[in-house]
Structures are given as C-alpha cells and as structure tokens.
Amino acid sequence: MSDRLIVTLALHPKFGYLLQPVFASFDTGTGVYAITETAHGSGSNYENLSEDEKNIVNAAGRFSDKALMKTYSHEKDEAAFLQKVAPETIQTYIRPFIEARHKEMLLTLRDTSTPLFLREKIREREFSEDRAIEILACPSKMIFLFRNAATFTYSARVRNGGESVALFGRFFAQLCAKPAQAVIGNRLHYFEDVDEKKLRPFFVKKQVEVSSRNVPEYIRKFVVPCVKEFDVVAEGFSVFEQTHRPVAVLTLETGLDLMPVLNLKFRYGKHLFAIDLPRKKEVELLEQNGAFSIGWFFRDEPWEQNCVDLLLNNGLILGRNNQFAVWGNEESKTGIVEWINRNGALLRSFELNQSLGNYVYYTGEINLEFAVNGKRDWFDVYCLVRFDDVEIPLVRFRGHILNRITEYLLPDGRIAVLPAEWFARFGELFRFGRAVGDNIRLAGYHFRVKELAEKGALPDEEPESTMLTAEIPGGLNAVLRPYQRYGFRWLMQLQQNRFGGCLADDMGLGKTLQVIAMFLCNYTGGEASPGSRAPVQLSLFEAPVALGRAASAEFPPSLVVMPTSLLHNWSNELRKFAPELSAYVHAGASRFRDEAFARQSSRFPIVLTTYGTVRQDIDFLQHFDFHYVVLDESQNIKNPASQTFLSVKRLRSRHRLTLTGTPVENSPTDLWTQMDFLNPGILGPLGEFRKRFLIPAPEENGEAVRSLLKIISPFILRRTKEQVAPELPSLTEEIRYCEMSEEQTERYNREKNRIRNTLVKQFSEGSRRIGLSTLAGLMRLRQLANHPALVDCGFSGQSGKFEQVIDTVETLFQEGHKVLVFSSFVKHLQLFADYFDARRWKYAWLTGQTIRREIEITEFNSNPEVRAFFISLKAGGTGLNLTAADYVFILDPWWNPAAEMQAVSRAHRIGQERKVTLYRYITLGTVEEKIRRLQQYKSALSDALVRPQLTMEEAEELLR
C-alpha cells in the first residue's frame, strides 16, 4: 500500500476553510484514506511528485501557520500568533493572501487527477472514500428568482450545465471570495461573475423578503443590476429582451485643441453609448401606472467595431476622448469637414450632427458640372458647383482659390469648405484665365489647364496614337530613326494646332534634321522636286547653297536664329539633307536691310541669322511676317531682361520653335523665357511666376512644380541618349565648323600672306623646295586657327573655336556627360584648363610630361565631379581605357586619321555601355579645312607639315 498525494479541505480555527495537501495511504478493503504525513517541500515523497503536484504543495506551504506568522506577526510561537492575531488582520490581509494561493492550487487541480476530500476537522487523520469532492470543469451561474405578489421576495439557485441546485441547507465552504469558488454540497463550483456575498445568505434562508416601502428602491439598486449581470426568473413583473435598431451617431464638435473633430457614439433606443464603454448587457427599468418591468439587450459588438473600422480604414485616426481626426491633417481647421464632404456615400449609414456653437458647416457632397465651348485659339470654361440645392458658378470662387481661403459662406448661412484638391485643380485655371461673365476664358495653348480643371488629373504622357500621322517628305536625303520620325510628327502636330514648341533632345540626336524635315514638308508639300536650281553664292561662305523653291504668300520665309558658330553647320545640313531648300544667310557687314532684305528673303524659304544680328536689325525685322521663327541653342534667351530676349519677342511669325539641349540651365526662369517666347503668356507674368516657383524654392513647392510640368509638357519634347540608345549607332561622328573672331581673322590672314609672299619669292628664284621658315609659318597658321594665344601669349581677344567648345562643354555638363578633349597642342589644352581653374571645375590632365597617369585615369573614371579629361593626342593615343566618357572632342585635325581614331577608341571600346559621340572641330577658311580634305586622299601632304618634304605646289594648295 503506497502513499499518494491528495488535497483535503478542512476548517481552520482562525482562517476558515483551507486546502491542505497530504500524503495518504488507501485501504482498498475498507475504502478508508489514512494520512501518513502533511506534504512539505522536501523529503522523498515530495521528490517523487510531478511538477504540477509540487506546485500544489509549494502554494499550500506559503499559508501554513508558521509561514503566516513570519509574514504577519512578530511572535515566535505559533500558538501565541493564532491567539493574538486580530480579526481585521485576517479579513484584510491573511484571508485574501490565502485565497490568492487557493486560486493557483485550484487551477492545477482542475488540470490534474489529484483528488480533493473533505475533512470535518483539521486534525482528522482518517476519512472514507465518500468524502471525495467533485471538481466541476465548467463555470457555474447564479440564478435569481424574484416574486412580486403580496410581498416582494427573492431567492437564488446555482446552475451548472443542465442542473439547477437549491442552496438552502446545503454545505458551503468558501475558498475564494471574488469571483466565488466554493464547495456546495460535495461539488466544487467556480463562478466568473459572482462574489460569495451574493451566495452566502441563501444557505441559511430560503428567500429574502423586502418590505413594501423599500421595493421601488430595491428594484432600482438590486434587481436591475442583477438582471444586468445574472440570469433572472421573474414572477409578478416582466423581464424581457428588447429589440433596438442601433444607430451610429457622428457629431462634429470642437476638440481639446479647439479644432473640429468627429465624436462617434452608438444609440440603442434612448440610450447613447460612447465607443470606449464596455459592451455589456444593458438594462432599462420601465414604469407605467405604478407597474414596472425590466427590459434588457446586448449591444451589437461586431457592428459597432465595423463602424469604427470603417472610419479608420478611410483616412481617420482615433485620438483622445473618442474623437476622430483626419490622418496626417490633424492640425487643419477644416480637414475633417472636407473629409465629410468627400465621403458622403460612406456616411449614409451614420447620423451626422453638429455641435460647434454658431458655426454650421455644409456637410453634404459637392458636385461639379462642366461645359466647355471655344474656337481654335481660346476656350470658355463654365462650371456649376452644387451644394445640394444651392448652385454657384465656379468663377465666384476665384478669390478664394487664388488666396487659398478654404471657407466659403453659402447664401443660406452655412459654411462650405472648399476641397484641398481644388487649389491645385483650379489654381492654374484662374491664374491663366480671365472671367467673361460666368465663364473662364483660356488661351488655346492652355488646353492642359482646361483638362486639369475638367478631369482633376492629367495623364503622365500623351498616347502616341494621338500623334498626327504626317508623311516624311520625299525630298529628305536621310532615313529618320524612329525617335526622329516621332519628333518630326510632333513638330507637325504643333503646327497644325498653332502651338509653339521646344525640341530639347540631347546634343547629337539630330534636332536640326527633324526641323529640316518639317521645313521640307511645308515648302515642298512633302514631294521631291523634279530638279534643283543652279547654286547661288551666299554671303559669308565660299561654298554656295543650292537654290530650291522660293517662299510664297502661303508659306513666307522662315527665320532660323542661332549663334554665329552654327551658321555654317546649318548651311551644310540644309545642303546635305534638303538640297531643294535654299537659304539666305542674313549676317555680316554686307547683309541686306529694309526693302532690300524683303526682296532678297522672299527668294528663299529659309533665312539664317544670328542672335547678334537680330539685336541689331530688330527695328526692321519686326515688320516682317515669317512662317516660322526657330531659335537654335535657345538657352541664349534665358535672361528675360536681356536685349536678345526682348528682340526675339518682337519678331512676328505664324509658328515658333526653340531648339536646345538644356531648356533649364540655372533656374525655372530659363523655362519661363522659353515658354513665353513660344506661347506668350502661357506661364503668366514673370513676377507671378517667380513668386510661385522661386519664392519659396521649387523643392519646397513640389505640387506647384508638378502642375507646371504638366501644363508645359505638351510643348516640350526631350529625349536623352539613354532613352533612344537602341536606335543609335555605337559611334556618331560630327564635324563642328567654327568661325574665327575678327581679331583672329586679321592675324591669320596677315600670317598667311606673309608665307605666301615667301613662297612666291622662292618660286621666282627657281627653288622647288620649302624652307624651314615656311614650315614654321604653316605650323603658326594651325595654331592661329585654334587660338592666337598659342602664338602670342599676350593675346587677350577671343577665339571662335574656343568659345564654341566652351558652349558645348557647358551644355554637356548640364546633361551629365563626360568628355575627352584631344589636341595636338599642349598649350591649347592649357587654355581650357585655365578656364576650368578659374571656375573651380575639376578635370583630369594627361600629356607627355604627366608622371601619375594611373591616378589621373582613375580619378576621371571614378569621380563624378571630374567631367573633362584634357589629353595631348600623342600622349593619349594608346593604352588608355576611359569608358566613363561618352563624348570625344578632337580640337584640331591631325595628319593621320588613324591616330585620331586611336584617340576616339579610348572611350569607344569594349566595356563602354553608352553611345559615343565624336566632334571634330574645324575652323572655317583656314588650313584646317584643307587638312581635313587632304586627310582622305593625300595623307603624305599633311605629313609634310611636320617633316621637311612638302613641295611648293602642296604648300600653295594649303595656302589657297
């Protein structure tokens, strides 16, 4: 017969009923348990227990007489402690401590098979098996029975499962008071919401009788709370379940920070509940004609939570005092009202009230109705704003929109909050439009403003399918790449709609070719001419441009304005790609003026001129009606106060275009000048533009900048090399012709004449060989063609090639490119290095004298701030890998084309992931032109420039 752990329930003389674990042996014959020892936290029996059983023993050990004495008394003797301990100490401290340990023990008892027995006396050592107490697994409920007859009485029963137990006369042993856990009869009951004080009276009384004078108060204070918390059986009055259709009530009120907020409550019948009140059984006492009844209902917890979630999931946040505000806009005075206006459909299931004192906001939906009428050059936009039955034309809100006033007083006294998106949606409409009655009139090129107002948003890009399908003219001597075909059709689309536009492709993508194709389409009707007229000699150039079709009344001449350095390029491009289009170059001291200009220009479809010439001749040029005015390198008009900008603005034409790789160089003002030339007034007055986009800085005004870009995007077409890379050849070559400055021309001609005279003298003396002095003179001519400072270090004038290279470099830097700059002359490279140093621009340097070559190469390839690499042709022709560069400049032609291509190969080689563009710079009317032509068929002649084997005839050829 082995000992096992059991738990006994015994009445302590001071502390009430206690749970006491013991070890006992069981006699199967007699069915009697005999206690062998009280369980303690040590000994062999204890060590053999499971962890759960040890927890039971340890918990009981904490309320042994000895343990309680140590905690609650200074006595050293247990008997003295039990004799002197005060009832208040027991009630206030000791019994709650014991019951807390009871809870721990009872939780474990329910989960284990440890038996519980009743000991009638704490010193009883033996007890029979029928003393076992059943531990109920499910919680019990208390049922109150109220009877309203001649007297008002009530009694109680306990229900567990389907069994109801009367309490009167049954054994009752309290183990825990709140909530109650007690042995009733031979079962251990536990309750979730009943304390023992409600149970205890009914073990000694069958029922409690209430005096008639106390019945009303008793019903309110006791019966109603009982109905709320317990099951109730009523006789003589009614206790019934009410049915309410709950309503979610939103109230617009002032929050603690004096900002409007929404307060959510739930109404059931006459009862209004805040959302943070516990969702319990609600009870209502009803009295009528002296009779009373009690109704009860449960709040619909899932429905209430759904209402809260609906608000939280649609942009509101829940703050203090059950108040909702707009997420991310908590400090806005009108943000919550705007949210209400915007979410009318969502709020149809809510009741909406206002409690803002004298303020009454309009809380319905705001609807817009548009009507747009107009002609080719303008639109009339009419919009009717509806606030339920109140209708107001949109034009009445102009002052509020422009001054960002959010509250508008309606005729009925309510305050309407204008939606925040209106200020972006209609701001441009009122800035660029003018009121005509109840309409807002816009210029035709503000069609994007109209679309923004109508639709509330604009597409990021125009679909290509809407592009005009213009045919490429047959007389074009080139095959346009896909992006160039798109550019040509874009230009024709602008022309059809009479809009000005900016073609802003990267340098080297063929902007000139796309415009020439457009000119051909205008002046030849898209068909190739059956023949060309005889070439006509034009001013400034030795090479004539073929004269094709003349201008006409339908298509008067088009004026192309450019820097002087581009005149030759434009002439060459026209001759190469559109020989039918003749061009008159209006530049130089001998140019025609006034009526002579009118007669001369009418013979040509294209007139080429410079920005300087326009400034000088604007007083008579402004009287001519051109078909097109095209500005090439139009960043030249970026200063709105400059004479250049003011002059080109005075030119008259049907259509306007600008060509530039950098439409914005320094600030948004650059963009304003471009757009104001193309479509006057499109961005409003300059002062207003600056106020919006420069003060504050654009990065702080992102929404306005995004709106600006969408307005102007139809009038700017920009493609970078990276975007069109699949359509480009891996290497593109272009010759950039340069004109000398006046001082440079004078010095060059003086040196050329000196050498020619020397040759004539030698020839007359019968010599057929060239002297060293003549060869040195030819070298000086090459240097003068680059920059006179290479010959005369004191020269302070300008060089046409230097200025053109610098302009191109600055443009490429704006676009983020890197450049290799090659020259045969180290002194030439030094001039550019000095220019860079003065502006603190970083660069790499490599000549025959450079020792740290690898450091220079690494710095160029890895440092994004180093955008230029100056290299002498001989030093950098081989052995370098400079694939960080995608542009190569050869500043002066070299005798051997293969040597030039070796230099180009520093960038255009394996590992280069971008397209490479090569620019060869040739100064017009100089020995460089001859060298370039002779490179192709007589490289030996070029070789003679550095070797003494040049013949008299060859030298004479160079000097023609």
pLDDT tens digits, one per residue of 838-894 = 999 999 999 888 888 788 888 998 999 999 999 988 776 555 667 788 899 999 987
Pair (95, 162) in one structural domain: no
Residue 41 located in a structural domain: yes
CATH of the domain at 833: 3.40.50.300
87, 106, 132 — which closes off a domain? 132
Yes or no: say if 629 and 648 are a contact pair by the CB < 8 Å rule: yes
Torsion angle of alpha carbons 785, 789, 792, 795, nearest 10°? 120
- Neighbouring residues of 146: CB distance < 8 A, sequence distance ≥ 6: 152, 153, 154, 223, 226, 232, 233, 234, 235, 236, 237
> Is 104 a domain residue?
yes
Per-chain mean pLDDT for the chain: 85
Q: Which DSSP symbol is given to 553?
A: S
Q: Cα–Cα distance between 502 and 506 in angstroms, integer?
A: 12
Same domain, 198 and 146: yes
Which phi and psi angles does 289 have, rounded to 5°? 55, 40
719 φ/ψ angles, rounded to the nearest 5 degrees: -125, 130
CB of 804 within 8 A of CB of 564? no
Percent of the chain at pLDDT > 90 equals 46
Q: Which single residue is written with the structure tokens 């003060």?
A: 695
Per-residue model confidence as pLDDT tens digits over 310-348: 999 999 999 888 899 998 766 677 889 999 998 988 999
Residues for the chain: how many in total?
960
pLDDT band at 532 (very low <50, low <70, confident <90, very high): very low
pLDDT of 19 over the 60 cut: yes
pLDDT at 525: 74
**793 and 744 housed in the same domain:** yes
Whether cis (ω within 30° of 0) applies to the bond prior to 179 is yes
Q: Are residues 434 and 304 in the same domain?
A: no
Cβ atoms 826, 865 nearer than 8 A: no
**Is residue 14 located within the same domain as residue 89?**
yes
Alpha-carbon 629 to chain mean position: 39
Residue 19's DSSP bridge partners are 9
Reported as half-sphere exposure (CB side, CA atoms, 13 A), residue 535 has a value of 11
Cα separation, 634 vs 657, whole angstroms: 9
- The H or E element that residue 288 is part of is strand 281-288
User: Is there a domain that residue 288 lies in?
Assistant: no
Output the domain CATH number for residue 534: 3.40.50.10810
Q: Is the distance from CB of 661 to CB of 814 less than 8 angstroms?
A: yes
> Residue 736's beta-bridge partner residues?
921
Closest CA to 181 of 280, 251, 110: 110
Pick the range with the lowest mean pLDDT from 26-40, 391-405, 456-470, 677-691.
456-470
Alpha carbon distance 149, 161 (integer Å): 30
pLDDT of residue 24: 92
| Backbone angles phi and psi of 550, in degrees to 5 | -85, 170
- Contact between 606 and 581 under an 8 Å Cβ cutoff? The reply is yes
Residue 294 lies in a domain: no
CA torsion through residues 621, 626, 632, 637, sign: positive
**What whole-number distance in Å separates Cα of residue 825 and Cα of residue 466?**
53
Residue 292 placed within a domain: no
Instruction: Give CA–CA dist 185/136, Å, rounded.
Output: 12
Q: Residues 99, 217: one domain?
A: no
Count CB atoms within 10 A of the CB of residue 138.
9
pLDDT tens digits, one per residue of 88-104: 999 999 999 999 999 99
Same domain for 507 and 568?
yes
Residues β-bridged to residue 608: 560, 585
Residue where one domain finishes, among candidates 132, 165, 188? 132
pLDDT at 955: 59
Query: Do 172 and 268 fall within a single domain?
Result: no
- 3-class secondary-structure state, position 659: strand
Q: For tokens 């563009």, name the residue.
A: 917
180 to 60, 198, 245: CA distances (angstroms):
19, 9, 36
The pLDDT value given to residue 695? 67
CB 147 within 8 A of CB 154: yes
Residue type, 458: L
User: What one-character DSSP code corresponds to residue 334?
Assistant: S
> Which tokens hold the place of 231?
């099951």
- Contact indicator for 61, 20 with CB cutoff of 8 Å: no
**pLDDT for the residue numbered 542:** 33
Domain that holds residue 755: 732-958
The phi and psi torsions of 859 (rounded to 5 degrees) equal -60, -45
The answer to whether residue 371 sits within a structural domain is: yes
Inter-helix orientation angle 511-523/567-577, to 10°: 60
Distance CA 635, CA 561 (A): 12
Stated pTM of the model: 0.57
Q: Where are the alpha helices (DSSP H) in 765-889?
A: 772-786, 800-815, 826-838, 853-862
If one compares 915 and 408, the residue with the highest pLDDT of the two is 408
Q: Return the structure tokens found at 24.
A: 């006992």
What does each C-alpha distance from 534 to 520, 547, 799, 867 come to in angstroms?
Answer: 19, 6, 35, 47
Q: Is residue 460 part of a domain?
A: no
What pLDDT is stored for residue 333 in this prediction? 77
Sign of the four-CA dihedral 671, 676, 682, 686: positive
> Domain tally for the chain?
6
Residues 336 and 230 in one domain: no
pLDDT at 116 over 90: yes
Cα angle 118, 119, 123 (rounded to 5 degrees) comes to 160
Positive or negative, the Cα torsion across 753, 757, 763, 768? negative
Residues 227 and 251 grouped into a single domain: no
Q: What is the pLDDT of residue 324?
A: 92
In a domain, 291, yes or no: no
Among the ranges 134-138, 664-668, 770-774, which has the highest mean pLDDT value?
134-138
**Residue 565 shares a structural domain with residue 500:** yes
Q: Does residue 507 sit in the same domain as residue 588?
A: yes
CA distance 919 to 828: 17
Q: In the listed set 73, 103, 132, which residue is the last one of a domain according to the structure?
A: 132
- Residue 243's nearest CA partner among 301, 292, 299 is 299
Report the amino acid identity of residue 871: I
